[in-house]
Structure 1
Amino acid sequence: MKKKYWTGEEIQFIRENIGVLKVPTIAKKLNRTETAVLLKLKRLGLANTKAYAGNLTMHQLANLLKVDAKTVKLWIENHGLLCKRRVTRSTRKFYFISQEEFWCWASINKEKIDFSKIERQTIVPEPEWVEKARANNKQNKNKYKSWTTNEVKFMLHLLSTGSNFEYIGKQLDRTSTSVARKYDRVKYQ
């Protein structure tokens, strides 16, 4: 059997279609075996076919947002986050989300995301409004944080010394309203 060498056109076809077409489709169009195409992808450094789809996978987006992948899947299924489901290698389908579509969706669904967890410019292009949302999330970080026993004891100690709710809130990194409400709940226990 005569060895069939790869032509420049074939290699260019692979580079242009990796992540767009399935490996079996590429093999069929080039009249090659799947194994030959997979080996060539490996030699060209293109073995990770998902990386060449041009979008983020559901799991990549979840990692960047520091949330569970199931959360992103729920956004896709129940909250209108647009995605494309595609096969990039053989048979397994992946959810791909474009960065632009994510930011468009995020601008409408700001309450679902903690922007303070997202490092700057990790999902580019990052819109200008994200910095303000990031700052707001940092301010609200303790919004639903449970009170520890030590925090309650410290609050009661400061109240016994004559401190006001605003001062205590600053000491505990909480709002004065949160301190007042906690005091009311503790007082009537």
Structure 2
Amino acid sequence: MGKKWTIEEEDKIIELWGETSIKKLSKSLMRTERAIITRAKELGLTLRQVKEQVDGISVSELAKLLGVTLAKVNNWIAKHGLPLREWSVSSKVTTKYINLDDFWKWAENHQEQLYTKLFDKHALGAEPKWMEGKRKLDLDKWTTFDTEVLKELNEDKVNLKEIAYYFSCSVAEVKSEVNYIEKSTNLMSK
């Protein structure tokens, strides 16, 4: 059995848990990392609380919130320079994450990579001012996929109000796009 824990040591673990790494706590208290983790568990603290202190989100969480695939976010990291941070929880456990400030700085310079119709406003918290313009641009354009879905909904006689709700736009915008599609189809058949 190891050295007895003092109230001061326990207080320090509770106070710093999640704000400093287990490695630093270990050095500060002159205890092994395993001893720190074991005592923390006995005090009701978890490693999840440590990870929650990271100022960012995981790659998979970002993908889910933005409505894109994990492969897409990994591509942004590997080929487009999206910063990925690493935080050492202990000498054996590290967690990789994307800091939200880093993400927004990156996104401003890579707006063509984001399609805001796929994710809710404020899904990542407060959005920078430039996102208002980006969201407006994305709402104003119809993708090939949007057009195909619109054609199917229109052929299935779904009412325009429901279609507008689906695309987060006005009935007038849906009518305009339906008219555009019909004109394009008529021109192509001539």
TM-score relative to the length of structure 1: 0.68
What residue in structure 2 maps to residue 119 of structure 1?
120
Deviations 1:20-79 (A, max 9, x none): 53x455435433343432234443434213211222222222222122222111101100
What residue in structure 1 maps to residue 45 of structure 2?
45
Distance 1:179 1:55, change over 3 A: same
CA–CA separation in structure 1 for the residues paired with 2:15 and 2:63: 27
More helix per residue: 1 or 2? 2
What residue in structure 2 maps to residue 174 of structure 1?
177
What residue in structure 1 maps to residue 186 of structure 2?
183
Distance 1:92 1:46, change over 3 A: closer
What residue in structure 1 maps to residue 81 of structure 2?
80
Distance 1:64 1:87, change over 3 A: same
CA–CA separation in structure 2 for the residues paired with 1:152 and 1:182: 14
CA–CA separation in structure 2 for the residues paired with 1:144 and 1:54: 37
CA–CA separation in structure 1 for the residues paired with 2:11 and 2:64: 32
Does the 8 Å CA contact 2:13/2:40 hold for their aligned counterparts?
A: no
Deviations 1:130-157 (A, max 9, x none): 13322332333x4212265674698xxx
Count residues in correspondence.
Answer: 172
CA–CA separation in structure 2 for the residues paired with 1:3 and 1:46: 22
Amino acid at match of 2:65: L
**Higher mean C-alpha displacement, 69-78 vs 8-17:** 8-17
Does the 8 Å CA contact 1:57/1:96 hold for their aligned counterparts?
A: yes
Amino acid at match of 2:118: K
Structure 2 residue ranges without an equivalent (≥5): 158-171
What residue in structure 2 maps to residue 91 of structure 1?
92
